[in-house]
Structure formats: C-alpha cells, structure tokens
Structure 1
Amino acid sequence: MKVTVPGSKSITNRALLLAAAADGRSTLHAPLVSDDTVAFRDALTGLGTTITAGPGDATWEVTGTGRGPAGGHRVRCADAGTAARFLPPFAATGTGSYAFDGSDRLRARPLRPLTDALRALGARITTAPGGGLPLTVDAAGLDGGELTLDGSLSSQYLSGLLLAAPLLRTPLTLRTAGLVSRPYLDLTLALMRHFGVPAETGPDGALTVRPGRYRATDLHIEPDASTASYFFAAAAVTGSRITVPGLGRHSLQGDLRFVTALRRTGAAVEIGEHATTVTGTGPLRGGFALDMGDISDTFMTLAAIAPLADAPLTLHGIGHARLKESDRIDAVAGNLRALGITVETGPDRITVHPGTPRPATVACHRDHRIAMAFSVLALRAPGITLDDPGCVSKTFPGFHTALRRCFPAHAAHAPAV
C-alpha cells in the first residue's frame, strides 16, 4: 500500500526562512501544515514577510525582501524549536526590537550556545536566566567573524547562524565541537545552495559564508522522513508492505536512514529513485546495538517496537534527545515499563528487552513522537491508549486516521482518539 506522508517539517521551516530572506517571490509546494510550521509561518508574517497560501494550503507563496526584518515585533514560537533557534539570528540581521517567547516546554529547552554566539557577533540580546526564552533582540545588523560553537546539544544553533549568515556585513566562519545530528546540518547547507548561497568548507571542516543575496526560487517539499518512520515500522511489525512516494535515494533527509535499522531487524527494504518500500518478513530480530545519534528523532520508533524483537536492542548516541519536546529517553523507558517491559537506560542510551506488552495508558508528555511511536506498537499490542492523542498535530494532524487506513487488519488495536 502507498501512504501519502505530509511534507518535511525540517525542510518547510528552513525553506520558509530562506524564502523570507531572499529577494523576490518563492513558491513552496506541498509544505507541511502543522502546529510547528504554522507557528513558524505566522512568526515570519509578523516579522514583515508576505506569505500567501494557495487553495488547500497546497502551496505557500513567500515574498522576501532580501534583507533582515525591520520595525520590531513580539514573536510567539509556541512549541517550535526551529522558530526559537532560527528566527533570533534572522531578526538580529535587521533593525528594531524583537521579543521572542514560547511554551513552557520550549522555555526549558537550551539556547545559550546560540545566544552566546550572537553576542559574540555584536548582537544586543537580553535572555532569561540560563540564556533561553523569553529573550529580546535589539537589532542593528550583525558583523561576521570566526566562532567555535558547541553543537553537542543541538545542530539547530549552527543551522540558525548559517541561514542568517549571508545577511551579515562581513563573512562568517563557524567551527563546531561535538556536533550531533549532522544530517540536519547537511540539509541546511543543501537548501542554502538551492536558494543561491553556498557555504565554503575549509580543510579543517570550518564553514564560511560570505555576504550575499538569497535567490527567490521554487521548492517542492519532500515527505517527512521522520514521520515516514512510523509507517515503515508498522509494516515491519505487521508483516505488511508500505511504500512512501517522494522519498527516494536522493532524499535530503538523513532520517530516511531509519530503514537501514529496520533492515537489521529483518525487514525487507527497497530504496528506489523516487520512493521507499518496507515489507515485514516475520518476527523482528534483535541482539545488536545501534548508534542513532544522527537520526535521533527516529530512535523512539525503534525503541517502541523493540519489545517485539527476539533479543534485546540497545540504542545509543542519543543523549541530546533528553532536551527535545520531552526527555525522550526517560519518556520511552517509563512508558515501556508501564507496559511491563524490562528497560535499562544510561545518559545516552536505552536497552529494551523482549516481552509481551500489557494494557496501559501511554504518557505522551505533549510529545508528538512519543504518541506516534507507541501507536505503532499498539497495532500489535491490544489495550494501549494515549493520554494525549491530539499532540500529533505538531507535525501530522491526520496521523491516526492514516495509520488505521494503512493497516486495516490491525486498526482495531490502534489507540482511540
């Protein structure tokens, strides 16, 4: 069966900012329409960017000015981490006073490496204790320079600075220590090239971006690979066959590598030119450890179905996942234990043992990925319910309906919504 997965959140929000910073009119085709992307779009509109939605939100037409914003604004980031990490650098390249804030959970997520970097470039920033939200940027443009950035908590700090870099007065050279989620940085660089500004990579790996202008252009948003992971995993555990069109071997998204993890569990995987297919072939194989640091948004998908494997699974390199919408390691572990599954955790790892899940209510922690991952397990484990099924609207409002449609033989076990 083919499933239509909505557009990539990571691509949509990066493309929105690039189009806003470009000189002219860009059209984004098949953007993701979800809580996070609408929050990002609305924030850009408040910053003075004109964004017009086509019929059914099938397209977003973005008219950029080729420069940073002007005049000042209060910016509500809601739960969107990309808004909190990408928009302050963009605002700092303009003029005026910009006050950023978000939900309680977003306030708790770290921002200090980014705010420290912006101060080093001459930005005037006032933050909450700890360096995070709420924060105010009193913008008067930014100079470039050379910086070394701590990337061990999130790659989004580096991406936020790079996206704004062409609008700086002088070149910006960035080095990073302990970078996590490298594929997301590669995605940023690829999209910058698409909008006409490449970064130069030095022999030591430093990235340099020179002042310039983004070029207005059109972009078709490919399906979200992180969201596709739930359907691929569901195929693996139900013995079904699922194809996601639009995600092929040339995908910009590192999270498509999740299917190689499923291949290790025994699923059949085909990555074609324009689509990827996963077929469940029988019981899941376990008994191995896997570094999921570069694709940490999908570790929950594998961890949630790991009780169905024939031996323990250890997923490591995921310490930074403790700083996402929830402490994702503890959230997954706590829910699996509530289901009667033996779990061990460490600072950056989780080990899940085989077992038969018992009925229980999953605590979603307002985290869309917790809800979606355990919905996959529920296809094989009757009696699982979610305390907040609606939190999936952060990235895929129609998730539960799509899951039932794709796996009708197991739909009776899917969590009630």
Structure 2
Amino acid sequence: MPLDTSRPPVLSARVPGSKSLTNRALLLAAAASGTSGLWAPLVSDDTVAFRRALGTLGIATSATPSDECWEVTGNGVGPFAPGRVWCADAGTAARFLPPFAATGRGTFVFDGSDQLRARPLGPLTRTLARLGADVQAAPGGGLPLTIAANGLAGGRVELDSGLSSQYLSGLLMAAPLMGGPLTVDVPRLVSRPYLDMTIALMRYFGAEVTETGGTVEVAPTGYTATDFVVEPDASTASYFFAAAAVTGRTVTVPGLGSGSLQGDLGFAEVLRLTGAEVEIGDHATTVTGPAGGLTGGFTVDMGEISDTFMTLAAIAPLADGPVTITGVAHARLKESDRIAAMAANLRACGIRVDETPESLTVHPGLPRPALIDCHRDHRIAMSFAVLGLGSGVPLTLDDPGCVAKTFPEFHTELARLFPLYEVPTKEK
C-alpha cells in the first residue's frame, strides 16, 4: 500500500510518568509490608524530593541505573526514624507525609522552600490534632511543622477540602496504619478526580475503602507490597495536546488511554470545544488541531482539572472568540496565584483578560513579544512555551528551568516534535 502523504505524520510525544501517581505510589509502598517496585516513575525535582524525604523517615529505597524502576521497602507501620524532613517545593510531600508520620513514633519536623511555606496546611493540621496528634504548625497552620507522633487511633472527623483535595488524600492514605477505622466527613471537595485516584491506588495496595455520599471510611488493614506501573502524566500531556491544537498537527501520547486513573486527561475533551479532533483509545490519546484555527466563544468549568486551566488560557488568544474558564478559585493557592499570574502575563503580551476571584476570560489577539514571569511555577513556563510556539511570537521565559519540577526535558521534547520551537537557554 503506498504511503499516504496527504497529511503530516503523527507526532508521538514522550511524556514522563505522572507526578501524582508516582508520589502516591511511593507513599503507599513505604506504608506497605515488603518491597514494591514502581515502574516508569517520574524522575523530577518533586518526586526525587519525595523519595529523599521517605529516606529521612527511615524508608529504604533504591533505583535501577536508568531509573526505570524504583524499589521501596516498607515495614507495614508508620515511621520510627524521627528527624527533619525537607519537602523542597513538593506540595504532595507537605500534605502526604505528615499524616503518615503521625501514625509512627517520634518527633518529626517538616519544612520546605519559601514557596512551599506560603501554601496553606491548616485544614490538615487541625484535623490531625483532632485525631490526637501533637502538632505544632507555623502561623496559619503551615510549614515548618512539628509532629510528636505516638500513633493514631482512628475515629471520626470532618475535613474541609475546599482548598485542596491533597489534605483528604494524605489523611486517607495514612488511615490503614491507624489503630482503628477512620471515618471522614467531607463537606467540601475540589479536584474530585484526584481523590478517585487516591482511593484507586489505596485499593490496589490492599486497603479497604468505602464511600457513601460525603463520607469516606477506611479500615485499619494496612497495605500489601505490590508492583505498580506509572502512567504518563496527563497534566504534562496537556501541553503537547495544546501544541497540536495550535499548530494543526497531530500528536499522540502512548500509554495514556481510556483506562487512565488521571482526571486531567479530561483536558483532551476540553480541546474538542476549540475544534480539535480527539481520539481516546485503550492505550493512547491523540489530538489533531483544527486546520482553520481554534474556535472560541465558549465557557468551560475546569475546577475538576484545574492543573490544566493554564494550558487552555495560554492558547486562548489564538481562538476566534473569547474563552471563559470558571471554577478555578483554588488555583490561587498553588505554586503561585495562578489566575493572577496568567492574567498578568497575558496582559504583558498585549492580550485583553477579564479576571474574577474564580474565573478568567481571555479575548482573541496576536501576542506581542514579552518577558514571561514564571513565578517559579512549572505550569506557567510550559503553558507560555506553547503560546510562543503557536503564535510564532518570541516569548521569553524568565525561569525556563522551573519545568524540572515535573519534566526536566520539556523544552527539548517540544523542540524535537516541533523544530521551530527554540529551546530557551536563560536560567535563574
């Protein structure tokens, strides 16, 4: 059969493992009895920080020479190696490790970068205290955080997760190590797909979790060591899907299909609103950009997939009508105030933006050259890299290296797929 040259070839993006899955699996393996193998883990600043923090807590880990597998050996109970735990910039470390430590014995001090210290922890630390943990937190309930641990008995508590689902995920993952069942009433929850991911992984490692309405119950069964294969990161894949949308090309991400545990794969469905063709198969997802440019004039609630709202906001100027993104108020409490940061950077590019406490409306316009303030936020850097690619306008990232938080090779991979993209060289 002759080769069909009527369409450009499909570009296959090499997207690394999911940060959310890697760090959850690291914790559950540390809490399990025995040795687990985590295959295709994400190797990035956040996951390496998480793994090192586990080492500080006395958990033995090792890696194959090329990092294709990380082995984690847990003893089936909470940690017994008190000390100072450095979380660096990793929000998951600051939210997941303190509850785990509280199920152990000894005094643990958690701290992190100034950026991480600014992120709220109050709902989680107050809940741990109600469960009987001896917790001393900085003003506002954040880092630095000291826990004098003597195990947790379980019980019933209410945990408001309206600011971050990570509070609830961290508490639930520690629950099988408690002395009795834990029941959590959840009056508010954002980013529901991340809770679904947590519960699915807990069950994979042998936990008994039941959910009824706004209540989650976990039995004190402990965990069983097991091997786990980490999917490609759906949040990171959003940038390559968006690149396809703005260039009219076709990009596929192997290993990220309809059975994915990650809610952020829903970003591909959002791209349908822009006129992109989307195919989510069993083992891969493929996006083809519209030949006539992006369609705008729509409103979309991205509260459940807020880590990808910046990807859409960054390419929205290239649409033929305004794009309104709602439901993302909690994104103001991430690595940066992401709504304000996106609005300011788009305005620096000459784009009209309307901002509310929980939404952003981006109007059409050709960006002008600008210096992008990344705020040390990997998602800002990656989003505006795609806008620069799609518009052909030079946008300078003030901190291109911040992508190392989740994908150190992001710029080179984008340039491999799209040779017109120039890899930035300026580093802070």
Q: What TM-score, normalized by structure 1, do the two folds share? A: 0.98
Paired residue for 2:33? 23
CA drift at 1:55: 1.8
Q: Which amino acid aligns with 1:174?
A: V
Q: What corresponds to 2:233 in structure 1?
A: 224
Which residue is 1:207 aligned to? 216
Q: How many Å separate the matches in 2 of 1:160 and 1:211? A: 15
Aligned residues: CA RMSD: 0.9
User: Which of 390, 406, 411 is the equivalent residue of 1:380?
Assistant: 390
1:254-283 Cα offsets, whole Å, 9 max, x none, are: 000000110110000000000000001231
| Corresponding letter in the other structure for 2:337 | D
Letter in 2 for 1:273: D
- When structure 1 is superposed on structure 2, of 141-150 and 216-225 the one drifting more is 141-150
Deviation at 1:143, TM superposition (A): 1.4
Distance, in Å, in 2 between the alignment partners of 1:339 and 1:377 is: 10
Corresponding residue for residue 82 of structure 1? 92
Supply the AA of the counterpart residue of 1:272.
Answer: G
Q: Distance in 2 between matches of 1:302 and 1:129?
A: 35
Report what 2:4 is aligned to.
Answer: none
Matches within 5 A, 1:75-224: 75-202=85-212, 204-224=213-233
Match of residue 376, structure 2, among 366, 380, 387:
366
Q: How far apart, CA to CA, are the structure 2 residues paired with 1:258 and 1:158?
A: 24
Residue aligned with 2:81, SS: coil
Q: Aligned partners of 1:57, 1:138: CA distance in 2, in Å?
A: 34
State the alpha-carbon separation in 2 of the partners of residues 308 and 150 from structure 1: 38
**Could you list the per-position Cα deviations for residues 35-55 of structure 1 after superposition, in whole angstroms to 9, with x for gaps in the alignment?**
000000000011011101012
Partners of 2:279 and 2:81 lie apart in 1 by 51
Q: Write the distance in 1 (CA, Å) between the matches of 2:56 and 2:425.
A: 37
Aligned residue number for residue 405 of structure 2: 394
Whole-Å separation in 1 of the counterparts to 2:81 and 2:355? 48
> In the alignment, which of 249, 257, 276 is matched to residue 267 of structure 1?
276
Distance 2:109 2:365 in 1: 49
C-alpha distance in 1 between matches for 2:53 and 2:421: 38
Distance 1:13 1:4 in 2: 20
> Per the alignment, in what secondary structure is the counterpart of residue 41 of structure 2?
coil
Tell me the residue number matched to 1:258. Answer: 267
Distance 2:21 2:394 in 1: 36
Secondary structure (helix, strand or coil) at the match of 1:56 reads coil
Task: Report if the CA contact (8 A) 1:385-1:416 is conserved.
Answer: no
C-alpha deviation, 1:416, in angstroms? 4.7
Corresponding residue of 1:287: 297
Q: Deviating runs (4+, > 4 A) in structure 1?
A: 414-417
Counterpart CA distance in 2 for 1:206 and 1:129 is: 29
Report deviation, 1:71: 3.2
**What residue is the counterpart of 1:313 in the other structure?**
323
Paired residue secondary structure (2:66):
helix
1:375–1:415 contact (8 Å) kept in structure 2: no
AA of the residue aligned to 1:82:
T
Q: Displacement of 1:179 after TM fit?
A: 0.5
Q: Is the 8 A contact 2:78 2:177 kept in 1?
A: yes
Is the partner of 2:384 in helix, strand or coil? helix
Does the 8 Å CA contact 1:264/1:285 hold for their aligned counterparts? yes
Give yes or no for the alignment of 1:52 onto 2:39. no
Paired residue for 1:304, among 314, 317, 320? 314
Shift of 1:191: 0.2
> 400, 409, 415: which is aligned to 1:404?
415
Among 233, 237, 254, the alignment partner of 2:242 is: 233
Structure 2 CA distance, aligned partners of 1:168 and 1:15?
A: 19
Q: Which runs of 5+ in 2 are unaligned?
A: 1-10
Deviation at 1:146, TM superposition (A): 1.0
CA distance in structure 1 between the partners assigned to 2:166 and 2:400 by the alignment: 27
Shift of 1:415: 4.4
How far 1:198 sits from its partner (Å)? 2.6
* In the alignment, structure 1 residue 41 sits paired with structure 2 residue 85: no
Question: Which residue does the alignment assign to 2:367?
Answer: 357
Q: SS of 1:379's equivalent?
A: helix
- Contact 1:342–1:352, Cα closer than 8 Å, also in 2: yes
- Mapped to 2, the partners of 1:6 and 1:370 lie a distance apart of 18
Separation (CA, whole Å) in 1 of partners of 2:404 and 2:297: 34
Residue 380 of structure 1, CA deviation: 2.4
TM-score (norm 2): 0.96
| Cα displacement string for residues 112-138 of structure 1 (whole angstroms, at most 9, x for unaligned residues) | 000000000000011111111001000
| Residue-pair matches, total | 414
Deviations 1:53-105 (A, max 9, x none): 01211100011100000031100000000000000000000000000000111
CA deviation after TM superposition for structure 1 residue 213, in Å: 1.8
- 1:317 maps to a residue whose letter is G
Q: Which runs of 5+ in 1 are unaligned?
A: none
The letter for the 2-side match of 1:62 is V
Amino acid at match of 2:416: R
Quote the residue 2:287 is aligned against: 278
Identity of aligned residues (%): 67
User: 2:255 is matched with which residue?
Assistant: 246
How far has the Cα of 1:201 moved from its partner? 1.5
Please give the per-residue CA displacement for 1:295-316, whole angstroms capped at 9, x wherever unaligned: 0000000000000000000001
Q: Give the aligned residue type for 2:73.
A: T
Contact 2:123–2:159 at 8 Å: present in 1 too? yes
Question: Alpha-carbon deviations, 1:147-201, whole Å to 9, x = none?
Answer: 1111110000000000000001111001112200000000000000110113112
Does structure 1 conserve the Cα–Cα contact (< 8 Å) formed by 2:208 and 2:221? no
* Counterpart AA for 2:243: A
